[in-house]
């Protein structure tokens, strides 16, 4: 059977870890997969690719297809449509995987937590986990700086993760740029205004409400802090003082902004 321009993109999960493989030809990391053949369902293509690229003796109860997401054009080659397929592996079967059983297309693999996704250089692979609903959404975060120190907020009992300290931020609304969202959230949560002077690379963070993709911005802030209901306390701290606070991974924003 001839190949089509549809590609099964396998997001393989076992015990909340995800299988990421390194391409032999260029060292980029990816979710494994391959082209669907004519008269083949995308689920059938996914199972065939699983067996071809991880060369173990497979039984039907070793895996289950949990979800097939809507397709999207490949960033690597837009003529192909990628269909993300979430596959759950039996833990004992997952333990059998080694570099020796990979096809020649890949030379290494890792079982990763989604929050470590951006530690691996890839091309357009984030879209698959977003399409599958494994990431809740996009968040813009402000790191407000005033007089050389940084404004951090303590989450109130009216919100999730109460008692934790974080930087102001929230979901990016439709039609809004990331920078606009960061400045809006800063104003809503603190009353502060300012200018975004630097943006950092995105990262994934896990909270009580799931995994989110965060886009950090360094903001030179001005004005007096007026908190809304989401927070009950604010303080100005140095970067070193952040280590002593119970935070929601705020150091990641600091690192992404090269502060």
Q: 24 with 84, same domain?
A: yes
Q: 13 with 121, same domain?
A: yes
CATH of the domain at 122: 3.90.79.10
Q: Considering 80, 106, 131, which residue would you say is the last residue of a domain?
A: 131
E strand or H helix at 66: strand 63-68
Q: Which domain holds residue 13?
A: 3-131
Measured between alpha carbons, how far is 142 from 219 in angstroms, rounded to an integer?
6
Residue 249: the pLDDT is 78
Please count the other Cβ atoms lying within 10 Å of the Cβ belonging to residue 255: 13
Instruction: Please tell me the number of Cα atoms within 13 Å of 216 on its side-chain side.
Output: 23
Residues 195-240 pLDDT 10s: 999 999 999 999 878 999 999 999 999 999 999 999 999 999 999 9
Measured between alpha carbons, how far is 38 from 252 in angstroms, rounded to an integer?
45
Residue found under tokens 């065939």: 48
Say whether pLDDT at 1 is over 80: no
Q: 83 with 13, same domain?
A: yes
Q: 126 with 10, same domain?
A: yes
**Mean pLDDT on 101-121:** 97
Residues 27-70 pLDDT 10s: 999 999 999 999 999 999 999 999 999 999 999 999 999 999 99
Q: 9 with 121, same domain?
A: yes
Q: Considering 108, 131, 154, which residue would you say is the last residue of a domain?
A: 131
Q: 196 with 238, same domain?
A: yes
Q: Which residue pairs, CB below 8 angstroms and at least 24 apart, start in 114-120?
A: 114/18, 114/204, 114/206, 114/211, 115/203, 115/204, 115/205, 115/206, 115/211, 116/204, 117/20, 117/204, 118/201, 118/202, 118/203, 118/204, 120/20, 120/29
Q: 149 with 102, same domain?
A: no
Q: 124 with 46, same domain?
A: yes
User: Does the predicted model carry a pTM greater than 0.85?
Assistant: yes
**Local structure of 165: helix, strand or coil:** strand
Q: What percent of the chain has pLDDT over 90?
A: 91
The residues near 164 (Cβ < 8 Å, ≥ 6 apart) are 154, 155, 246, 247, 248
Residues 164-183 pLDDT 10s: 999 999 999 999 999 999 99
Q: 123 with 142, same domain?
A: no
Terminal Cα distance for the chain, rounded: 55
Q: Considering 82, 99, 131, which residue would you say is the last residue of a domain?
A: 131
Contact status, residue 32 vs residue 110, Cβ threshold 8 Å: no
Give the chain's domain count: 2
Q: 153 with 224, same domain?
A: yes
Measured between alpha carbons, how far is 238 from 37 in angstroms, rounded to an integer?
57
Q: 205 with 101, same domain?
A: no
Segments in the chain forming alpha helices (H):
42-53, 91-95, 126-131, 178-190, 239-242, 250-256
The residues near 186 (Cβ < 8 Å, ≥ 6 apart) are 142, 144, 168, 192, 193, 194, 219, 221
Q: 176 with 237, same domain?
A: yes
């Amino acid at each position: 059977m001839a190949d089509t321009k549809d590609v099964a993109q396998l997001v393989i999960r076992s015990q909340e870890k995800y299988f990421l493989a390194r391409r032999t030809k260029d060292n980029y990391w990816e979710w494994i997969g391959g082209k669907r053949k004519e008269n083949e369902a995308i689920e059938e293509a996914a199972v065939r690719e699983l067996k071809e690229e991880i060369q173990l003796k497979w039984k039907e109860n070793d895996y289950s297809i949990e979800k097939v997401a809507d397709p999207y054009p490949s960033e690597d080659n837009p003529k192909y449509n990628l269909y993300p397929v979430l596959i759950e592996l039996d833990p004992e079967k997952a333990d059998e995987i080694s570099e020796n059983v990979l096809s020649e297309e890949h030379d290494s693999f890792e079982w990763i937590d989604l929050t470590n996704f951006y530690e691996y250089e890839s091309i357009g692979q984030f879209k698959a986990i977003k399409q599958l609903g494994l990431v809740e959404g996009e968040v813009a975060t402000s790191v407000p700086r005033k007089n050389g120190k940084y404004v951090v907020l303590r989450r109130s009992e009216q919100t999730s993760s109460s008692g934790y300290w974080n930087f102001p931020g929230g979901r990016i609304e439709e039609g809004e740029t990331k920078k606009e969202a960061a400045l809006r959230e800063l104003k809503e949560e603190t009353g502060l205004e300012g200018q975004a002077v630097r943006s950092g690379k995105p990262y994934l963070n896990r909270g009580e409400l799931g995994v989110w993709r965060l886009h950090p911005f360094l903001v030179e802030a001005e004005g007096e802090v007026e908190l809304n209901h989401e927070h009950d306390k604010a303080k100005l701290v140095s970067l070193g003082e952040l280590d002593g606070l119970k935070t929601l991974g705020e150091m990641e924003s600091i690192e992404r902004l090269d502060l």
